[in-house]
Structure 1
Amino acid sequence: MSAQMVPAAKPLIGDEEREAVDRVLRSGMIAQGPEVAAFEQEFADQLVGGRSCVAVSSGTAGLHLGLLAAGIGPGDEVIVPSFTFAATANSVALTGATPVFADIDPVTFCLEPSAVEAAITERTAAVMPVHLYGHPADMTSLAEVAQRHGIQLFEDAAQAHGATWQGRPVGAFGTFAMFSLYPTKNMTSGEGGMVACATPEMVRSVQLLRNQGMERRYENEVVGLNQRMTDVHAAIGRVQLGKLHAWTEQRRANAAFLSAGLDGVVVPTVVAGAEHVWHQYTVRVPSDRDGFAAALAQEHGVGSGVYYPIPNHALPSFGLTLGLPETERACAEVLSLPVHPALSERELHRVVEGVNALAKAGA
């Protein structure tokens, strides 16, 4: 293939981010400081309706600390999807609690509320949906299930910065919500995470846990970790936050172009009440998905990704045999096509032409 590969994802780092990093380095204040505090406030105001936010070193750290702050620990069960990145279940296991895997809705790829209800036991302490690919989970139904059974509701919003459900931003539903700031996400801080908290008690607990369990130096109140965000990372995140809205609109335009032009694959659906932010544009290829992806790259120069090829419950780290048919079908069929805001019009046409040519040829 002579043309350059259309990348499946591409972090967008510009001069403004470099200047922000230089400003922090020149200040001499590199660890957690004023940039982190400003980033937390701006993120809260712009993305989660003013809910207090706590910046941490990674998305996984955010999940772990949120769960600990919410009182999750040994003896508890937390219901999670198996069709997601392993960090969701890992964070539950790291608290000493048990992740319980439930099946997904075949349209949204998010937790199916009836499957959650069926998985509840006397040990269930919480349910933690993932707003997968940038499409919000059905928070109305999940909140009703949680309320009916007296369990907590958390949100893994790692891929869903700016998504909304029934007009309300994701991250504003649960006891806490985690947003990832990894380089491939819709915005990045280089590495990092943000925890949106429902109560002042949750805020203080997450703040203590990220900083060795202390608010005042050397006065450790609880056993904590070092999972702070640096001012260098926060400075990058603040610049990226300012660009997020325009990038999201471009993702939406790119997704609309793909949906209008693709033929022969099952294009994604946005359900009523959902505002999708298109972290991934994920189609279903009903037969020989892996062969299709390989041909797309080799013959048409179009990159793609499979998120996720192995259900979490079947990973060696958990090693469970469960009957989750929609999860297993998704793992076999999903293929994420380029949708990021750096795509040119020519590249978008190449994606559509490549997919359609392979679908027509029966690849």
Structure 2
Amino acid sequence: MIPVSEPDLGALERSYLLDAFDSGWISSRGAYVERAEDLLRTLTAAPHAAVCSNGTTALHLALLAAGVGEGDEVIIPALTYVATLNAVYYVQAVPVVVDVLDSTWCIDPAAVERAITPQTTAIVAVDLYGQTADYRELRRIADEHGLILIADAAESLGATLDGRAAGSLADISTFSFFGNKVITSGEGGAVTTPRADFHTAILQLRNQGNHPTRRYFHDIVGYNYRMTNVAAAILTAQLERASELIAQRRRVVDEYERLLAADERLRGQEIAAGAAPTPWIHSVRLTGRSAVERDAVITALAERGIESRPVFPLVQDMPFVPAAQRTPTPVAAAISREGISLPTFPRLEASAIAQVCQALRDVLSSFADGE
């Protein structure tokens, strides 16, 4: 079976992991935590970086540091992983779900502007599948309305927009280092920001609200969102290899686009002007197909030894979302209905990519023939 994703772990990760183990510093203090944060600052060009336990806790920390709380409205895109939505609920805020652009699949700035009310405090943009959102326009909107701009960059580490790196495109940016992400530590996350006040709050919040100078004195409610030195050791190795890992992902996507670009039955994400995405999981739309037909394609590919998966369902369709928050988002609905994600990872060979593409074409042809 060709998997959708597979981590690229090698001798460097093993060496650093064993070094952390042998040092005895296996919890949330140790040299690798600091090294990983240093590397993140370099890679993102953000003045401040803090690692944490996962991408969801990174989002929670970002919202808390920004002062988002009960009754505040937070604008988010319909097409994203559920963690973006969950983090808004964690702080007892109200998610305002808006549509995405038909081109990049990222949050639509015009829809954001229409959704702003006196209760709006923040915008969370999502760099879907490694494509950066339109931070030029989102920055203008946020500044004009006095809003905090947060980037959910879980899938875009290493991407750039107008030469600026993901992690430095918003007031606060968050990352995920889950096992299938561009860079992994198994489980892990990070928050980057240009603002020292946000960074100070994040450091305290992730460490049980511990006072910065008085040990075991907690002057705010905090959380245990720390990353272990063991996880940070793997992360450090991955960050040192970031340029290699990202280049290999771009090679994989370039090959997919070379083989599939002429197929009118498929439509991919468009790259915005000035953007250089970091491909996470290469995804395409099966033009005009229903969700049932898309799922049948996924099943047929699995029967041919190829794992694939549907594009994210709409967050407002989750059963726990109140009816008042179930905003219609027709563009996101079409992408979600038609979208399929294909195997994408650094060690995926050209022969395997060709196998995936041929199988996809064969399955689509068989459907057209009525089989």
Alignment partner, residue 362 of structure 1: 367
CA distance in 1, matches of 2:12, 2:309: 29
Alignment partner, residue 38 of structure 1: 35
Alignment partner, residue 329 of structure 2: 324
User: What SS is found at the alignment partner of 2:126?
Assistant: coil
CA-to-aligned-CA distance 1:312-333 (integer Å, 9 cap, x gap): 1110121433211011111111
Structural mapping, 1:139-178, within 5 Å: 139-178=135-174
Give the alignment partner of residue 243 of structure 2, picking from 232, 242, 245.
245
Q: Which moved more, 1:12-21 or 1:27-36?
A: 12-21
1:108 aligns with 2:80: no
1:313 aligns with 2:321: no
CA distance in 1, matches of 2:12, 2:163: 32
Alignment partner, residue 277 of structure 2: 276
Deviation at 1:339, TM superposition (A): 2.2
CA distance in 2, matches of 1:131, 1:170: 9
Give the alignment partner of residue 253 of structure 2, picking from 233, 252, 255.
255
Contact 1:126–1:154 at 8 Å: present in 2 too? yes
1:336 aligns with 2:341: yes
What's the TM-score, normalizing by structure 2?
0.93
CA distance in 1, matches of 2:283, 2:201: 37
CA-to-aligned-CA distance 1:44-86 (integer Å, 9 cap, x gap): 11x2114210010111111101110110001211100121111
User: What SS is found at the alignment partner of 1:174?
Assistant: coil
Alignment partner, residue 302 of structure 1: 306
The residue type paired with residue 3 of structure 2 is: P
CA-to-aligned-CA distance 1:259-300 (integer Å, 9 cap, x gap): 1111231133212111111101110013111111111221x3
Q: Which moved more, 1:18-27 or 1:175-184?
A: 18-27
The residue type paired with residue 151 of structure 1 is: L
CA-to-aligned-CA distance 1:118-152 (integer Å, 9 cap, x gap): 11111000101000000000100111111121111
What's the TM-score, normalizing by structure 1?
0.95
The residue type paired with residue 20 of structure 2 is: V
The residue type paired with residue 18 of structure 2 is: D
User: What SS is found at the alignment partner of 2:309?
Assistant: coil
CA distance in 2, matches of 1:268, 1:197: 28
Contact 1:32–1:229 at 8 Å: present in 2 too? yes
Structure 2: which 5+ runs fail to align? none
CA distance in 1, matches of 2:317, 2:8: 34
| Count, aligned residues | 356
Q: Which moved more, 1:64-73 or 1:312-321?
A: 312-321
Contact 1:72–1:97 at 8 Å: present in 2 too? yes
Root mean square deviation of aligned Cα? 1.3
The residue type paired with residue 239 of structure 1 is: A
CA distance in 2, matches of 1:342, 1:305: 19
Q: Which moved more, 1:158-167 or 1:349-358?
A: 349-358
Alignment partner, residue 203 of structure 2: 207
1:18 aligns with 2:21: no
User: What SS is found at the alignment partner of 2:268?
Assistant: coil
Contact 1:267–1:284 at 8 Å: present in 2 too? yes
CA distance in 2, matches of 1:322, 1:331: 15
Alignment partner, residue 236 of structure 1: 234
CA-to-aligned-CA distance 1:190-225 (integer Å, 9 cap, x gap): 111010022111111000000111123112121111
CA distance in 2, matches of 1:291, 1:319: 30
Q: In percent, how many aligned pairs have the same letter? A: 36
Contact 2:105–2:269 at 8 Å: present in 1 too? no
User: What SS is found at the alignment partner of 2:241?
Assistant: helix
Contact 1:177–1:195 at 8 Å: present in 2 too? yes
User: What SS is found at the alignment partner of 1:128?
Assistant: strand
Contact 1:84–1:130 at 8 Å: present in 2 too? yes
Deviation at 1:187, TM superposition (A): 0.8
Q: Which moved more, 1:259-268 or 1:133-142?
A: 259-268
Contact 1:84–1:307 at 8 Å: present in 2 too? no
The residue type paired with residue 224 of structure 2 is: N
Q: Which moved more, 1:133-142 or 1:170-179?
A: 170-179
Deviation at 1:307, TM superposition (A): 2.6
The residue type paired with residue 231 of structure 2 is: H
CA distance in 2, matches of 1:85, 1:295: 25
User: What SS is found at the alignment partner of 2:122?
Assistant: strand
Alignment partner, residue 58 of structure 2: 62
Over 6 Å off, 4+ runs: none
